Structure 1
Amino acid sequence: MNKSLYDIIEEKSKNFNILGIAGSLQDDSSSTKILKIILEKARKNGNYTNIIDLKETRLPLFNPNKPRDKTDEIEMVTKEVINADAFILATPDYHGSMSGTLKNFLDYFWKEFSGKTFGYIISSHEKGLTVLDQMRTVVRQCYGWSVPYGVSINSSQDFDIDGKISNNKLEKRIESLARDIFTYGILIRSQFLDDINNKEENTYAFQY
């Protein structure tokens, strides 16, 4: 007997897994710093969280001729991506785009992102709107879902001399993403799994 949607939601609420991807190679990265803060808040809300810091976990440049050459890093990252129910991507703004490191990570996956919700963090002196649009485009192409806002950081304005957050609006946005990535993510993920279980044909989930 297939589980009902409500059964799936109840089950997922006990083990919802949020994976953060830190896409900066910079020491003392502000985007990575905010990512860790949000994941900690999400963990206090009862979620499982983990982080892949691409400064420490180096993936080879994606080669479509050898998409899954087995390295310890690729195997570990693939396992974490498959197990994740939602993602938070963090990146600096490089010339109006995401970091090459983050884009390389995204190139490794497709169906593993489907039916999962994504949140976004951008470190930028210009709000990072084009960066946000590009990340959303990649996720949409992979049949993922995006939280309808991002967390934008300006490291020269949003932190005090001790490195603590000094922007109240940023604090509120951080709290919102820590809540919404679960609150909306669990509904999307659970409905996706329910559609697969019921072999529902009138949904994009049918191809999975």
Structure 2
Amino acid sequence: MSTTTPSTGAPLRVAVIVGSTREGRFAPVVTRWLTGHLGQRTDLRADVIDLAETPLPTVLPAFGTDPAPGTKEALALVSPRLAAADAFVLVTPEYNHSFPASLKNAIDWHNTEWHGKPVAFVSYGGLSGGLRAVEQLRVVMAELNAMTVRNTVSFHNAWGAFGEDGRVDDPAVDAAAKTMLDQLTWWAQALRDAKSVRPYAA
């Protein structure tokens, strides 16, 4: 796949959030494929945030109370990277018709980090390809003032979609990835330009 024409200004910072933390997860295979596409572009710079490697506390504090000890240190591994991102790609499987609790936990620990930024999705699973997880994530991200792009990449029966080298033989999947990233880039550039003129009104 050829690189796209770089946009004006610095490359857009894309936080790739790996949502699954389960033992034996398939997420690293999908993430490596995605970062391969990101690495071919000159207008995007990826930062992979793997929630299995940067676990966040699972108990949120009640309103008006201090968080538990160690919370600040755990958030420091993730929060500044989300705040610095111009856009996000959420890599998610589908668990019981929804997305992983680890991903919801990471979303809920943050608020302003999502504001006025675009979000794209790469999902995987069985027959549904994780699409039900994506549809639920759209509602969640809208509540957090994020803008979700229309096109996604979905791997149906994902375990058979990748070769031993981690590549996908179906050219339609690579085309879908390009379209999704093109849309993410357009929105990220437009929103970054807009926020340089006036702050986002949350």
Change beyond 3 A, Cα 1:170–1:110: same
Q: Which amino acid aligns with 1:194?
A: V
Taking structure 2 as the reference length, the TM-score comes to 0.82
Q: 1:180 to 1:29 in 2, by over 3 A?
A: farther
Which of 51, 55, 63 pairs up with 1:54? 51
More helix by share: 1
Q: For the Cα contact (< 8 Å) 2:33–2:167, is it kept in 1?
A: no
> Distance between the aligned counterparts of 2:181 and 2:74, measured in 1?
27
Match for residue 4 of structure 2?
A: none
* AA partner of residue 112 (structure 1): E
Gaps of 5+ in 2: 1-6
| CA distance in 2 between partners of 1:135 and 1:90 (Å) | 11
Q: For 1:172 and 1:104, how far apart are their aligned partners in 2?
A: 32
Cα drift, residue 36 of structure 1: 3.1
Distance 2:104 2:30 in 1: 19
Partner SS, residue 156 of structure 1:
helix
Residue pairs, 1:44-193, within 5 angstroms: 44-46=40-42, 47-65=44-62, 66=66, 70-125=71-126, 126-153=128-155, 154-160=157-163, 162-193=165-196
Greater relative contact order, per chain length (Cα 8 Å cut-off, separation 6+): 1
Letter in 2 for 1:169: A
The CA distance in 2 between the partners of 1:24 and 1:132, in whole Å, is 14
Identity within the alignment, %: 22
In structure 2, the CA distance between the partners of 1:186 and 1:158, relative to structure 1 (3 Å rule), is same
Report the Cα offset of residue 161 of structure 1.
Answer: 5.1
- Aligned residues between the structures: 189
With normalisation by structure 1, the TM-score equals: 0.80
In structure 1, the residue matched to 2:21 is 25
Q: Check the 8 A contact 1:87/1:118 in 2, yes or no.
A: yes
